[in-house]
Amino acid sequence: MKRIFILVLFICGCVSQTKKELSPEFEKWAAIKSPTLGEPASIGTYQAGCIDGAQSLPLEGPGFYVVNRQRLRYFGHPSMMAYLLDLGQKIKQKKYPMMAVEDISYPRGGPFLTGHNSHQIGLDVDISLTPLKSAPQDDANVPAPSYVRERKELLTNWGKEQAQLVELAAQSDLVNRIFVAPAIKKFFCSTQPTAPWLYKIRPWWGHDDHIHVRLNCPASSPECVNQPALDPAENNCGAQLDWWYSAEADAEAKKMADEPATVPKSFPVLPAKCENIKVQK
Ligand SMILES: [Zn+2]
């Protein structure tokens, strides 16, 4: 079972780390302020890659609002922009409150200095589970409460607005998978077990205040390494979900919580082309 855990860790690559003595390479990617002017292309894997010709998401538009703008993580592949603009339109049409868009990627992708290990090729986005009734006073300090107790149970603040957002976000064919806390997967397994999009909803550590949507590699990005598609015939409401409620998962959670924050986060090996993308004027 340990092997399974390591495998899923590799697949998601989205466990947050705040470790000391980071490689100076992290700072270089974080310091880039503009995308390249190349043809849009995602290069490499979700956990080790970059993006050529990224687009910027408008900071607000129908049905959405970008938060934490000072991080400059609102760049991505045009496929991501199309996905978010379309989702925003649907949210507006249904008269749901605005979605708060958190991190996508840096202007040229690459590893984040802080937070998740993925989001490197402009095809991952975090969307808050707390929708906005109106534009916030302070973009950098928008409340994002947890909706889940210790990954297993929904809190009483979970409601229709959260469920509607996940459901709508999962329906696009562009979506490869969506990471959520196990309690959220469990909720949909019991309320909508036959929903055609349920197979894309994947339990993961964290993700109790936001969802993480991963899009498929676009056909126009031949150097993008897709994560294998999930099987639509398997909703994974059985043994796979049960694991998250096992003693083994409890032990893994404890191990992660106890891990000392002294090991430097290692810098991934990026495709050679990313070096050129990093230094282009
Ligand atoms: Zn994420």
How many C-beta atoms lie closer than 10 Å to residue 170's C-beta?
21
Say how far apart CA 155 and CA 207 lie, in whole Å: 14
Ligand 1 mean position, distance from CA 212 (Å): 5
Confidence tier at 258 by pLDDT (50, 70, 90): confident
- Using the mean position of ligand 1's atoms as its centre, give its distance from the Cα of residue 33 in Å: 21
- 53-75 pLDDT tens trace: 999 999 999 999 999 999 999 99
The CA 236 to ligand 1 mean position distance, Å, reads 21
Which residue has better confidence, 6 or 205? 205
Is residue 1 scored above 50 in pLDDT?
no
Strand pairing class (148-149; 124-128)? unpaired
Predicted local confidence at residue 8, as pLDDT: 43
Distance (angstroms) between ligand 1 centre and the Cα of 242 equals 23
Q: In whole angstroms, what is the distance from residue 253 CA to residue 255 CA?
A: 5
* Average predicted confidence (pLDDT) for the chain: 91
Query: How many angstroms is it from 193 CA to the middle of ligand 1?
Result: 25
Rounded Cα distance between 134 and 244, Å, is: 36
Q: By CB neighbour count within 10 A (0-12 exposed, 13-18 middle, 19+ buried), where does 161 fall? A: middle
137, two tokens: 């006073």
DSSP string, 127-180: EESS-BSS--S-TT-------EETTTEE-TT--HHHHHHHHHHHTSTTEEEEEE
CA of 124 to the centre of ligand 1 (A): 7
**pLDDT of 200 strictly over 80:** yes
> How many other C-beta atoms are found inside a 10 Å radius of the C-beta of residue 80?
28
Q: What is the pLDDT of residue 18?
A: 46
**Confidence band for 259, pLDDT divided at 50, 70 and 90:** confident
When pLDDT is averaged across residues 45-57 and rounded to a whole number, the result is 98
Beta-bridge mates of residue 49: 44
Q: What is the mean pLDDT of residues 115-122?
A: 91
Radius of gyration of the chain (CA): 18
Q: How confident is the model at residue 281 (pLDDT cuts 50, 70, 90)?
A: confident
Q: What is the pLDDT of residue 13?
A: 45
Asked if the 2-279 domain carries CATH number 2.40.128.20, the reply is: no
What is the tens place of the pLDDT at every residue in 87-100? 999 999 999 999 99
Confidence of residue 206 (pLDDT cuts 50, 70, 90): very high
What residues have CB less than 8 Å from 88, skipping those under 6 apart?
61, 62, 63, 64, 98, 99
Q: What are the CA-CA distances from residue 123 to residues 16, 55, 102 (Å)? A: 18, 11, 13
Distances from the Cα of 59 to the Cα of 28, 64, 80, 232, angstroms: 24, 8, 14, 34
Res 263: pLDDT: 62
Residue 202: closest CA among 194, 212, 193: 212
**53 sits in which H/E element:** none
More confidently predicted of 263 and 229 = 229
Q: How far is the CA of 84 from the centre of ligand 1 (A)?
A: 15
The model's pLDDT over 139-187, given as tens digits with 9 standing for 90+, comes to 888 999 999 999 999 999 999 999 999 999 999 999 999 999 999 999 9
Percentage of the chain modeled with pLDDT above 90: 82
pLDDT tier, 256 (very low <50, low <70, confident <90, very high otherwise):
confident
Q: Which residue has the higher pLDDT, 93 or 263?
A: 93
The reply to whether the predicted model has a pTM over 0.85 is yes
Q: Where are the domains of the chain?
A: 2-279
Number of helices followed by number of strands (H, E) in the chain: 8, 13
